[in-house]
Each structure stands twice: as structure tokens, then as C-alpha cells.
Amino acid sequence: MYPIPSKSDENQRRRLQWLMFFRVVIATFFLGMAAVNHLLKEETYFDSYLVYIYGLIGSLYAITFIYLAILFVVKQLLRFIYVQISMDIFFITALIFITGGRSSIYPFMYSISIISASIFLFLPGGLVAASLSSLLYTLIVSCQHYGLIHPLGETFFALPENTAVPFYYPVIVNIASFYLVALLSSFLAEQTKKSQLQLKEKQVDIENLEALNENIIQSINSGLLTLDLDGRVVSFNQAACDITGLSASRVLHKNIHEIFPDIAIPPNGDLPDDDFAIPRFEMSFTRNDGQLLYLGFSISVLRNRSGQEIGRILGFQDLTNFKEMQESVKRMDRLAAVGRLAAGIAHEVRNPLASISGSAQMLGKNLNTSPEDKRLLDIIVRESSNLNLLISDFTQFARPVKQDRQVIRLKKTVAEVTALFKNSPECAGLKNVRIDIHNDLKINVGQQQFNQVLWNLLINAVQSIKDDNGEISISAREMENEFQPVEGSSSPEDKGERGWLELTVSDTGCGIEPSNLDRIFDPFYTTKDRGTGLGLSIVYKIVQDMGGVISVDSQAGQGTVFTIYLQRY
């Protein structure tokens, strides 16, 4: 048996409601016809055939209300449809009997029920309805012809009979029309069903493609937005929201220059057909939270199916980390060059330098020199010592000491280095050093290298403080998911399993000019009156070897903060 062509039983029940409504309309129409006939013929309301018509119409009303009452509780919906179609055919047969039998003008009503059956039940239902209609119509006409029955309205609705035409000719014509209507209406219903199924499949495919396209756009990690021909934003994906810090609802239908004021969009029609020929460009962008980003843009033409230009597609990426990595690589290249230079000069300079220093000391001891000559010899010895210190710094770049890692308590180590520093000549009388580190914090590093990092940062802080009221602060805290190491940095074993800690060394000194911040880790670069410019370069290299990251934040006249990220133990 053919399935019911509906999306669900609920949809099919709704269609049955329309059938019931149509049935009530037809019954009301015949009730009105009976009333008009009464007025025209001046008959009483209770003439015999009128009483039967009233009863038939009333019964139709009653059974329709019964159908409606049980519509949403009946479980066998297919049988329920067959019952309704069969009852409609019996009512039509009754109407034909009341209105004259073979002389009735209502045999066409069978076609309405046959069409209804074909719509709901397709070809099997249409054939069943046509067969039942043919059987009942043939039965009533045959019985009337042989005098077995006498229809109620036979006299009133009698039509002139053509005796030359056998009585079964109209029967055959009507039966043929019943089956023809069943075949045609079933064919149309089948075609409608197929069209609906194909439309549903296409709709599902379209929805799937739209969902796939939306998921792809929202899942890519590059910002993507589309513009119409007037430069207004039509779409704004999730990555674009994350990069810019703007919500899609906030930027949709706004002009692109309200979001990126400095962007230059080529006029419509000026972009080449080959997207690979379109130049890429970069620009800076300041988020609402004040963070400065460097964005890389690409532009392509947005076209419809016919190839007509309808807008622009802008793709962009956050290049801020990439820029930082570029600077880090350049700095490491410079350090590598210094290392190669140190390897060459260490051997060539240190031995002659030792000879010069030793000779000057021997001359000072063995000769009766004047005070002026003695002062000159002291200068030679002192400057030789300074040169030897510089060469030692060079050597650290060329042959870095292998870090024998060990677990150390951070607070204890910082306190020991700070105590030694306070009593060293480099401290220059500074007394205000504040430590804020929890006792339980541990790190797995090379003890000697970590001490040197801290010592060099303390020296840098002291040299930037111009008075005795300055202060140095050393603090540390654990970090959960706030920090991710820069790609390319080496990391200790068990990377990422123990988390990170943040160690800061800050001072209240003179600070660093913004133009100098990018160069403070470069070898030989210094803004101090004394120093070789290698202290912070050594710090940077040791931190890199530890698998950590170091950054600096400073404002001229307000002090400097060095931040080191190390993996905690």
C-alpha cells in the first residue's frame, strides 16, 4: 500500500481538517439550495423529499463533528481516512436517491470523493473510491430501472427520457468517468508527492550546504568579513570578532572605515580578476582595550553565480605575535653573530692583554716611578681588567655554560642573591629592596645561571635609580592558563604539565624611552654612562636557554618592569 504523502501525522491531520471543512461547506450549499427551492415553489418546509434532504444534511453535519472530535485521538489514521471517504460516497448515493436516482444531476459528486481519495491515498485509494462509487451508482440506477426502488424525488426531478438510449449507457459513461478521474487525480497526486520529496531533499541539501559553509567560515582562525558595493559590512565571522574585540551585531551594516579607519579599499571594478595578483598589505589596529595589533589583510572580489561583482571579501590575520617572533629571531641572530665574534677575539686578545697587565704591574713594583707615572700604570692595569671582563662576557656567548638544572626554592634563592647584592660595590648604597614571593614556589633551573640573571637585573635597576629613595621590588606568582610560551623558545622537560610562574623585577628609576625599548636586549646597546651593554643581552640569552620568556615594560621617568616567565616545578 502506498504511504501517506505527508511529513508527519500532524500534517496529515491538518489536511483532514480541510476535508471536513470542505464537506461542511458542501452540506451548507445544499441546505441553501433546498431553502431557495422552497421559496421558488412555495412548498411547505416538510415536503417529503425536503425532509430527507434536511435529514441528510443534518447527518452530514453531525458525523463531521464526530470526525473532528476523534481526529486527534485516533491512532489508525489510514483507516480513518478510508472510513471518511466511504461515508462520503454513501452520502452522495443517498443524495442521488433523494433527488431522483438516474435522473439526478449529482453523480458528478462522486468525482469529488474520488479526487479526495486520490489525494490522501493515491492510486489504491482512488481506485477503491471509483469502484465503490461505480457499484453504488450502478445498483441504484439498475434497481430503479427494474422498478425495485422508487427514489424520493423521482417525480419532482424527472427528466425527459430518450427511449432510444439504453439505461446502461449513462451508467457506463459515469463509471468510465469515475475511473478516469481516479487515474488522473492519482497521477497528479503522485507527481505532487515526488515533487514535494525532491523539493524536501533539495531543501535539506541547501540547508546542509549553508550549515557547512557557515561552520567553515566560523571555524577558520582568520578574520573574514564581506562588504557590499557601498562598503558596508555584510558578514563578520567569529575569528574577526576575537581579533578585533568587536561583536558581529555591532559592526554589521556599518561602513568598513568605521571599523578600520586607515584601510584603503580599491574602488569597485578596480580589482584584477586574478585574486593572486591582488597585493596584500598590513596595518596597525588599536582595540577598544588599548592593545595595539598588527593585522595582515588580503582583498578579493565577491561575485554572484552569474559572475557579477557584488562586493568585497576581506581576510585578515593577527600578525602581532609574528612580528614579535621576527624581532626575537633578529635579536637571536645578532647574539649569534656576537658569539662568533667573541670566539674569534677571546683567544687573540686575552693573552696579549694579560701580558700588558702583568708587565705594567711589574714595572710599578720594580721601578722608582714618579707619582704621575704610577697613576698611568694603574690606569693600564685597571683598563686591562675592564677589557678582560668584557672578553669574559663575550666568551659566555661563544661557549655558554651547560645548565645543570636543579629544583630551587625561588624565595630563598632571591633572598640570598639580594643579600649579596646589597653588600656589593655595585649596589651603591641602595637599601630599599622589597621581596614578595610565596615560600612554596619552586623552579627547575641552573642555579648559577639564574643567579646571574637576577644579579644583572638588579645592577640594571640600581643604575637607573638616581637617588637613595628609589626602590626595587621582586615578586612572583603562579599562572594558570594566562600564558603561552612563544613558539620557537626552548622549554624544559615535561613541557606544559606543571604550568608557569611570573617573576618581575621592577624599579622606580628613570625608565626607558619608548624608542629604545626594542633595542635594550641588543649587544653593546646601553643608555647608561657606564657598562658594556652586554648585561641584558646575557640575561635574554640565559632566559631563552632556560626555556623561558622575558619582556620589558617601561615609561620614561616612572621606572621599569622586567617580567620573566619560567616553568614552575
Strands 433-436 and 405-409: unpaired
Query: Residue 492 in contact with residue 567, Cβ under 8 Å?
Result: yes
CB neighbours of residue 516 within 10 Å = 15
Q: What is the C-alpha separation between 551 and 563, in angstroms, rounded?
A: 5
Beta bridge partners, 238, equal none
Three-state SS at 265? coil
Q: Which three cell numbers stand for residue 323?
A: 612580528
The predicted structure's pLDDT at residue 4 = 42
Q: Is 184 exposed, middle or buried (0-12, 13-18, 19+ CB in 10 A)?
A: middle
Which of 503, 523, 426 is closest to 465 using CA atoms? 426
Q: Containing H/E element for 314?
A: strand 309-318
The predicted structure's pLDDT at residue 347 = 57
Q: What is the largest distance, in Å, between two alpha-carbon atoms of the chain?
A: 168
Q: Where are the beta strands (DSSP E) in 180-266?
A: 223-228, 233-236
Q: What is the C-alpha separation between 110 and 178, in angstroms, rounded?
A: 7
Using a cut of 0.75, tell me whether the model's pTM lies above it. no
Which of 376, 379, 381 is closest to 359 using CA atoms? 381
Beta bridge partners, 56, equal none
Which of 118, 119, 94 is closest to 106 using CA atoms? 94
Q: What are phi and psi of 352, to 5 degrees?
A: -60, -35
Q: What is the C-alpha separation between 562 and 541, in angstroms, rounded?
A: 15
Residues whose CB is less than 8 angstroms from the CB of residue 495 and which lie 6 or more positions away in sequence, other chains included: 547, 567
**Residue segments in the chain with a per-residue pLDDT below the cut of 50:** 1-7, 45, 276-277, 486-496
Residue type present at position 64: T
The predicted structure's pLDDT at residue 277 = 46
Helix ranges, 71-167 (H)? 77-98, 109-145
Beta bridge partners, 562, equal 505, 552
The predicted structure's pLDDT at residue 562 = 92
For 69-90, the DSSP string reads HHTTT-S-HHHHHHHHHHHHHH
The predicted structure's pLDDT at residue 498 = 63
Give me the residue label for grid cell 555584510.
234
Give me the residue label for grid cell 461547506.
25
> Taking the chain, what is the end-to-end CA distance rounded to the nearest angstrom?
74
Give me the residue label for grid cell 591582488.
278
Which of 432, 326, 337 is closest to 394 using CA atoms? 337
